[in-house]
Structure 1
């Protein structure tokens, strides 16, 4: 009984980061709900932003929900970067309009998410091989897998944006400006910039991972599922 109580109160540092993320989003939701009640004219814009942040609450909590149904915990460092990404993209990006206020905010998030996915690539690789093989397999091979994994997910995301733009008339790939179609290379700048950012973020983590593995193979333990 005492051991169970200790486990419940033994919070990891990433759990505090989760609390900060959730509390920040709740404060935002409360403030803008009050604004919607006092300024009904702006309800359309505000309600969309609030709904996005509410979705952010669910997205930030997903790893905790998934962990409930499996005997393992996600790697702390990956969960931390995941929470930072959710905070930066949904609360700061959409809620506080950083996407429109800071020109390169979207590209920064592509680099961050690609780095996160490259780290997840190491985790996936660790799952696919035995612990004994992990001690001898080529660090270059693992890093190439991580870089490819992160970059490929970035490409799939661009497919998703293209599908949304084609079927729903959205402008996720920013091929329009002020309602007018962009022409030539201008229409490709956003997509190509996103892909370059994805490759940059993936390769950066893969290079760091390569040298960390060469220095100490135990570094991979930071990117491995741990038993509860």
Structure 2
């Protein structure tokens, strides 16, 4: 299993970057250890899915585990370093989603997605904040890289909300078609929709996640966007 990337302490401009792990009062070693632990839990869910012969559980866990390896891959392949707290931010929603598809004995062998009414909304909140964070880092990198465009704070705030809502709509459509296809193929549990009311609530939580990224993105994603800008300028 890949080792999470090392921790950034400063931004590209040399200033101190207030990171997620600092907010949580986690040292770099503890953050890396926590990420490794969460990755092992996702791996255990993958093994459980294979043991239960549940392709839905196995596929979701495998995709989640793959996503958590991307920061380490980018560091090895492109020398692109993320703060360990950001790696934790990526790992948590992947774990929550994978766990949400696993039947649990404490829930009468129902999945958290079906047995816990707020589970789906929680995963949407975490995931949407992550997606909005990617949108913020990319837009700010372009803003820093070139003088041809300027993104003032108010525009960036509105952009993040619109970006997240657009992505949320695309995701709901993807979720619908994957759900239909999985039922036709006899592979339940990959992605599931629970009706129009659930879709509307998902979009609301997507917007809340976008708001969180808009409010806290400057503090936690400046280092990533600065490094992206450096790569664009290289």
TM-score with structure 2 setting the length? 0.66
* Aligned residue in 2 for 1:163: 177
Distance 2:45 2:178 in 1: 28
* Structure ranking higher in helix proportion: 1
What is the Cα deviation at residue 15 of structure 1? 3.1
Residue matched to 2:204: 196
Residue 159 of structure 1 deviates from its aligned partner by 1.6
Asked whether the equivalents of residues 114 and 151 of structure 1 are also in contact (C-alpha less than 8 Å), the reply is no
Unmatched 5+ residue regions in structure 1?
Answer: 1-7, 37-42, 175-186
Partner secondary structure for residue 78 of structure 2: coil
Deviation of the 1:89 alpha carbon: 1.0
User: Is the contact made by 2:168 and 2:203 (CA closer than 8 Å) also made in structure 1?
Assistant: yes
> Is the contact made by 2:67 and 2:94 (CA closer than 8 Å) also made in structure 1?
yes
Aligned to 1:69: 77
Q: What residue is the counterpart of 2:101 in the other structure?
A: 94
Distance 1:16 1:190, change over 3 A: same
Q: 165, 186, 193: which is aligned to 1:173?
A: 193
Give aligned pairs, total: 190
How far apart in 1 are the matches of 2:198 and 2:138? 29
Query: For residues 89-137 of structure 1, what are the alpha-carbon distances to aligned partners after superposition, in whole Å with 9 as ceiling and x for unaligned?
Result: 11x212353212311100111111111122212101122122686xx85
Q: How does 1:207-226 map to 2 (within 5 A)?
A: 207-209=215-217, 221-224=222-225, 226=227
Map of 1:40 onto structure 2: none
Query: Partners of 1:172 and 1:191 in 2: how far apart?
Result: 11
For the pair shown, the structure with the greater C-alpha radius of gyration is 1
Any residues of structure 2 matched to 1:73-88 within 5 Å, and which?
73-88=81-96
Calculate the aligned-residue CA RMSD, in Å.
3.4
Structure 1 counterpart of 2:156, from 142, 166, 169: 142
**1:208 CA drift (Å):** 4.2
**Deviation for aligned residue 1:18:** 2.6
Structure 1 position 23 matched with structure 2 position 47: no
Task: Indicate conservation of the 8 Å contact 1:113/1:201, yes or no.
Answer: yes
Contact 1:93 1:105 in 2 (8 A): yes
Structure 2: 5+ residue runs without aligned partners?
8-27, 105-110, 185-190
Do 1:74 and 1:224's aligned partners in 2 also have CA atoms closer than 8 Å? no
Q: Cα distance, 1:160 vs. partner? A: 0.6
Bigger shift: residues 105-114 or 63-72: 63-72
- State the Cα deviation string for residues 141-163 of structure 1 (Å, max 9, x = none): 12222222222211110121222
